Structure 1
Amino acid sequence: MQLLGLFGHPVDHSLSPVMHKAAIKALGLNEEFIYLAFDISPSSLSEAASALRVLDFRGVNITIPLKEKIIPFLDRLDGPARLMGAVNVIVNERGCLTGFNTDGRGFLRSLEENTEMKPEKLKVLIFGAGGAARAVAMALGLAGVKEIVIINRNPDRAVRVAGMLNELGITVKAYGNVPKDIKKEIKTADLIVNTTSVGMVSNPGSLIEGYVSFLNRKQVVCDIIYQPLETLFIKKARANGCHVVSGLDMLLYQGAEAFHLWTGQEAPVDIMREALEENLKENKI
């Protein structure tokens, strides 16, 4: 039996075990794989990486605050992980640890599965400039979008993400706070994405409280938050006629990408989604 797992600090509230255990069971892989969660502090990463080799783990998910800190202990990085400087999946091949970042691919697949939108030549507006924003922005940049606008309260982080994207040859604007011409930026965007924590159960609110009237029916609005399943941002966008995509989809599809990397099998996404939704329902989120 091969070990799969989750490394993070803390890991109690992660939904990764929920969907991966459901996938393993659905495909009858209980005799081949077991998925466990491990609370790993940053100071213990060297020992944790050694354990992956010694105990012959097949792989693990990596969550906060370890996505960047784990990199020095790996042997290789795939292209997206190298570009973003962050890892969310590790695969162990005979002691060689390769770091992947499936967040961006997960986001793109959530668009593909829920909309008819093609990234090429789109204008995208992203709220936030953290790790999730980097993943989303880089994936969209590599997919050929025309322009990306980044709005973040920390101007340095916004500029840093913009710098990464400039290398892809696309038009990038970075704002440290809400720009004066926010109305124009929102109205002319094809895709609007919230990658901040605004709207979470612990941080309720809406990013676009005063800008809802600027939205139009041709736009797609995404929120990477999945607790709650429908944020105020999503509710208001839907009420204004926008096509919306919830954060559960990005979570699901980045997990499906990881499952395929570990097992070589297509992930049973319907089963995984059902498990996620049931868990959130049971916890009344």
Structure 2
Amino acid sequence: MTPIDSAPARFALFGHPVAQSLSPQIHAAFARQLSIPLQYTAIDATAEAFADLLARFAAQGGGGANVTLPLKQQATALCGSLGDGARRSGAVNTLVRNDGGWHGENTDGRGLVRDLTERHRLDLRQRRTLLIGAGGAARGVAPALLDAGIGDLFVVNRTPERTDALADALGEPGRVHPRYMDDLKAMGEFDLIVHATSATRSGSLPSLPMSLIGTRATAVDLNYGDSAIPFLAWARAAGAHDAIDGLGMLVEQAAESFRLWHGRRPATDEVYAELRQRHALLITAD
């Protein structure tokens, strides 16, 4: 898609809750780096209010937006067109104003893969992978993980219907396998485990057997800060080779969104390092 030629007046993050989001700080840092004028705000939007608030934002000159929990799947229905990642995942995290409507993209997966392969120098190829969760966050990263060359992908979720729906949407029945939480003890070891639920935001973590962790396993939580602590503590106790939170993914997906809006991709390492130092224990993630 052709990027917007000039910076629109307004950008925003929609989600619920969003008060603790780092996205405004990240985009402000990108804008300073590239000398691009930017107004970026966080708008708290429940599922019931989202469509109306987005329409109001567009009427007031909004040119682009990020979408976080719990609105990523709902956002797809508000788009006139979808990019490949959004279409395959059924979830949108980036909106671009285009010919009076919204074009939906999903940059989460590209952000995750870039963080894992370039920042953490991991080889994802042929890794037997477990994805815990089947909501908007899980949907956003699954296609990119498959494209990055992982081996078989097993998806588990508390709600079997959502697990099956995600597996169907990914469309690779020989490679993508829906399973249920009760199956975990018999599933063997994994090389990559991605935690993509919001359960730890309320202080709970699904019961996970330590037998899931293989000898070279990487455990990734798409949350960061306090919300990532329970899963990463479990992974370290189980002997994971790498335990990685979602802060790097957050910065990288934001850079992809910024590129879609402004036609230029900012450098991310300095922004990531500053956030890591200043916000190590922030509670929420996008």
User: Is the structural similarity TM-score above 0.5?
Assistant: yes
Distance in 2 between residues matched to 1:283 and 1:73, nearest whole Å: 31
Matched with 2:276 is 277
- Higher Cα Rg, which structure: 1
Does 2:19 correspond to 1:19? no
Contact 1:256 1:269 in 2 (8 A): yes
CA deviation profile, 1:107-138 (whole Å, cap 9, x unmatched):
11122124444444331112222221222222
CA drift of 1:48 comes to: 3.5
Q: For residues 246 and 186 of structure 1, what CA distance do their matches in structure 2 show?
A: 23
Question: Within 5 A, what are the aligned runs for 1:78-227?
Answer: 78-165=83-170, 167-179=171-183, 181-182=185-186, 185-187=187-189, 189-200=190-201, 202-205=202-205, 207-208=207-208, 210-211=209-210, 215-227=213-225
Q: CA deviation at 1:168?
A: 2.8
Deviation at 1:43, TM superposition (A): 4.1
My pick for the range that moved more, 78-87 or 62-71, is 62-71
Q: Distance in 2 between matches of 1:33 and 1:138?
A: 31
Contact 1:17 1:37 in 2 (8 A): yes
Q: Could you tell me which amino acid in structure 2 is paired with residue 147 of structure 1?
A: D
What RMSD over aligned residues (CA atoms) do the two structures have, in Å? Answer: 2.8
Output the CA distance in 2 between the equivalents of 1:277 and 1:284.
Answer: 13
Q: Does 1:8 align with 2:15?
A: yes
- Counterpart Cα distance in 1 of 2:140 and 2:66: 16
Percent identity between matched residues is 32
- With over 3 angstroms needed to count, the CA separation of the structure-2 counterparts of 1:99 and 1:217, relative to structure 1, is same
Q: Classify the secondary structure of the residue corresponding to 1:33.
A: coil
Choose which of 35, 50, 54 in structure 2 pairs with 1:28.
35
Q: CA deviation at 1:233?
A: 2.9
Q: CA deviation at 1:258?
A: 0.8
Alignment match, 2:248: 249
Determine which of 64, 72, 75 is the counterpart of 1:59: 64
Note closer, same or farther for the CA distance 1:172–1:34 as it changes in structure 2 (3 Å cut): same
Amino acid at match of 1:262: W
The count of residues paired between Structure 1 and Structure 2 equals: 276
Q: CA deviation at 1:69?
A: 2.4
Aligned twin of 1:235: 233
Compared CA separation, residues 64 and 19, structure 1 to 2 (3 A): same
Asked if structure 2 preserves the Cα contact closer than 8 Å seen for 1:52 and 1:92, the reply is no
Shift of 1:169: 5.0
Q: Structure 1 unaligned runs (5+)?
A: none
Structure 2: any 5+ residue segments left out of the alignment? 1-7
- Decide whether the 8 Å contact of 2:91 with 2:139 is kept in 1: no
The DSSP-based 3-state class of the residue aligned with 1:218 is strand
Offset, 1:250: 1.7
Q: Which secondary structure state, in structure 2, belongs to the residue aligned with residue 261 of structure 1? A: helix
Q: 1:186 to 1:107 in 2, by over 3 A?
A: farther
Whole-Å Cα distance in 2 between the matches of residues 235 and 222 of structure 1?
Answer: 11
Which amino acid in structure 1 is aligned with residue 104 of structure 2?
G
- The equivalent of 1:38 in structure 2 is 43
TM-score (norm 2): 0.83
**What amino acid is the match of 1:190?**
D
Q: Deviations over 1:5-52 (max 9, x none)?
A: 1122332122211211222223332xx211112223444444444444
Partner residue of 1:265? 264
Higher alpha-carbon deviation: 232-241 or 104-113: 232-241
What amino acid is the match of 2:10?
L
